[in-house]
Amino acid sequence: MSVLEVPVLSVKQMNKQFGNGCSTCKNMKLGKMTKNYCHKCGTVYACRDVTFDLYQGEVLGIVGESGSGKSTLMKSLYFDEEVTDGEMYVAGFEDGKKNLFIESAQKKRYVRNHLMGKVYQNPILGLKMNFSSIGNIAEKLISAGNRHVGSMETRGAELLEEVNIPIHRMKEEPKNFSGGMQQRVQIAKALSNNPPILLLDEVTTGLDLSVQASVLDLIKGLQRDLNISIVLVSHDLGVIRMLADRTLVMLEGKVIERGLTDQILEDPQHPYTQQLVHSLL
Amino acid sequence: MENILDIKDLSKSFILHNQCKDIQAVNNITIRVKKGEFIGITGKSGSGKSTILKSIYGTYRVQEGDIWYESSHYGPINLAKATEREMIYLRKHEIGYVSQFLNVMPRTTARQLVTEAILEMGQSREIANMETEKILDHFEIGKELRDSYPATFSGGEKLRLNIARAMVKRPRLLLLDEPTASLDHDSKLKVKTLLEQLMKEGTTMLGIFHDLEFMNRLVNKEYSIQNGCFNQAIQKI
């Protein structure tokens, strides 16, 4: 590691609002807004001025209560949502010099298909439930430019084996699978194009403890063996403590605190972070 | 001998928002540590000993004062103002922290734990595997224990593994937070031998001890702390 380290992913002053905003909320006048919601025009400011860097091989944790903007941020990073304004740079695209948020849909698709993988909190968003599991993986491989059926099948089987889905069930549809299995098929799919960046949105929420453990072990192994950079959203501080090197805390769309994970957990500064950490202990 | 660590006027307080309280943990602490020195810090519970170590390690964010550390990678660096990435690098390569609690990934065996620490340093898996066996031998972690989870280990075994893990990185600066608390006599002796060896190898150490007799046989200098301030510094050897 050199002193001048280049981030794999860099997000600068990203804003995402739902609604057009009015003269009241545009000036962010206090008293007229409840949290990040404007009473006058109904605009929700989901992400406000979010800035962070992600470096190679690290896990960046994002914590925050429901509605704090975590998932909107993740959707924006994967171009599922169009941002209101802001900048995003990815090292593997044009040397990290072009703001991806203002690039064409085609370029965004390229980055999404070749440089990123995402696991959604809800498997329905990440998988086609009526396709076979291996077909789901092939879909991502085809988007990444793969056209050889034999090699795609080999790769798919390899990945499903890695995430402990029995090979004799690879032709089965994910809708027949348990939640934990669906989540693991999603992870296999997200990994199929060897992405340098992996976005994980609440991957363990709703899974029982032992399945949660196997998914977490899988993630830890991926980071260790493949040196992937991961953005990990979770409201489970135990998961964050176990996996994340650095952590951002979000509240009402803003990043209110950031630091090394042990700093956040042992020396929280913001009243909300203190409340959050004390809820854990 | 040059200083490896130069703590100047370090103050740290904790603001507890829910109680509207501001707790001053340490106040205006100054410590100079020469390369290869072993410094002992003593004081009552709650006097601020751990706060000093955690401020050096970056777990606590320092409000006032500087912690100048002579890094082999960055040169002189103020740990009180270092970036997160700088701190991660230093923790990986230069500064070790050992407490009486073993904080490890669940479902990781003793062997994996040490191997991963070596891999993190950029060694090949082959070398890492060899080194791991050597180190576990050295720290007398029985062969039958190596493939089991450290959560099932006894206190002494956990601690030895904890030191072993910190040791593989050959830290230039090692912070010891009550490394001998809750250990029996035999285990303490083993830890003492290990620490003496580290001293011989030139590792600089800062340690917190409650067992004064144990400490007095090891350290070069003792700082005694009371209510977050230094009471006295005693030169030992």
Chain B positions touching A241 (Cβ under 8 A) are none
| Domain edges within chain B | 35-60+83-235
State the residue for tokens 């990986």: B92
Q: How far apart are CA A247 and CA A257, in angstroms?
A: 8
Q: B18 CB near a chain A CB, below 8 Å? A: yes
**Least reliable range by pLDDT among A74-88, A132-146, B60-74, B220-234:** B220-234
- With respect to residue A177, please indicate whether it lies within any of the assigned structural domains: yes
Which residue among A58, A217, A269 places its CB closest to the CB of B107? A217
CB within 8 Å: B107 and A242: no
Alpha-carbon distance A1 to nearest alpha carbon in chain B (angstroms)? 8
**Least reliable range by pLDDT among A180-184, A213-217, B132-136:** A213-217
pLDDT digits (tens, 9 = 90+) for A213-257: 888 888 888 888 888 999 999 988 888 998 999 999 999 999 999
- With respect to residue A268, please indicate whether it lies within any of the assigned structural domains: no
CA-to-CA separations, B34 to A27, B39, B203, in angstroms, rounded: 55, 9, 11
Q: How far apart are CA B62 and CA B67, in angstroms?
A: 9
Q: How many CA atoms lie within 13 A of A94 on its CB side?
A: 11
- With respect to residue A157, please indicate whether it lies within any of the assigned structural domains: yes
Neighbours of A66 (CB within 10 A): 7
**What is the pLDDT averaged over residues B107-122?**
86
Q: Which CATH class is domain B35-60+83-235?
A: alpha beta
Q: A131 CB near a chain B CB, below 8 Å? A: no
Residue B125 has pLDDT above 60, yes or no: yes
Residue A145 has pLDDT above 50, yes or no: yes
Q: How many domains does chain A have?
A: 1
Q: Write A104-110 long-range contacts (CB < 8 A, 24+).
A: A108/A79, A109/A79, A109/A143
pLDDT digits (tens, 9 = 90+) for A63-118: 998 889 999 999 999 999 999 999 999 999 999 999 999 999 999 999 999 999 99
ipTM: 0.88
**What is the pLDDT averaged over residues A118-147?**
93
- What pLDDT score was predicted for residue A64? 92
Q: How far apart are CA A149 and CA A158, in angstroms?
A: 14
Q: B172 CB near a chain A CB, below 8 Å? A: no
Quick one: which H or E segment has residue A199?
strand A197-201
Domain that holds residue A175: 123-194
Neighbours of B194 (CB within 10 A): 19
- Nearest residue on chain B to A225, alpha-carbon basis: B119
Chain A positions touching B60 (Cβ under 8 A) are 263, 266-267
- What pLDDT score was predicted for residue B107? 81
Q: How far apart are CA B9 and CA B13, in angstroms?
A: 13
Structure tokens at A220: 């830890």
CB within 8 Å: B107 and A213: yes
Q: Are A185 and A165 in contact (CB under 8 A)?
A: yes
pLDDT digits (tens, 9 = 90+) for B44-101: 888 889 999 999 999 999 989 999 999 999 999 999 999 999 999 999 889 999 887 7
Alpha-carbon distance A2 to nearest alpha carbon in chain B (angstroms)? 9
Residues 6+ apart with CB under 8 A from B205: B37, B38, B39, B173, B174, B175, B176, B195, B198, B199
Q: Which residue in A51, A49, A56, A50 sits closest to A7, CA to CA?
A: A56
Taking only residues 22 to 41 of chain A, the set having a beta carbon closer than 8 angstroms to any beta carbon of chain B reads none
CB within 8 Å: A259 and B84: yes
Residue A30 has pLDDT above 60, yes or no: no
Helices of type H across chain B: 49-57, 84-93, 110-120, 125-138, 155-167, 185-200, 212-216
- With respect to residue A153, please indicate whether it lies within any of the assigned structural domains: yes
> CA A72, A117, B118, B88: dihedral to nearest 10 degrees?
-30
Q: Which residue in A122, A73, A15 sits closest to A250, CA to CA?
A: A73
β-pairing, A9-18 vs A85-90, is antiparallel
Q: How far apart are CA B164 and CA B166, in angstroms?
A: 5
Q: Are B175 and B206 in contact (CB under 8 A)?
A: yes
Q: How far apart are CA B29 and CA A265, in angstroms?
A: 24
- What pLDDT score was predicted for residue A29? 58
Q: A13 CB near a chain B CB, below 8 Å? A: no
Q: Are B1 and B182 in contact (CB under 8 A)?
A: no
- With respect to residue A85, please indicate whether it lies within any of the assigned structural domains: no
CB within 8 Å: B84 and A274: no
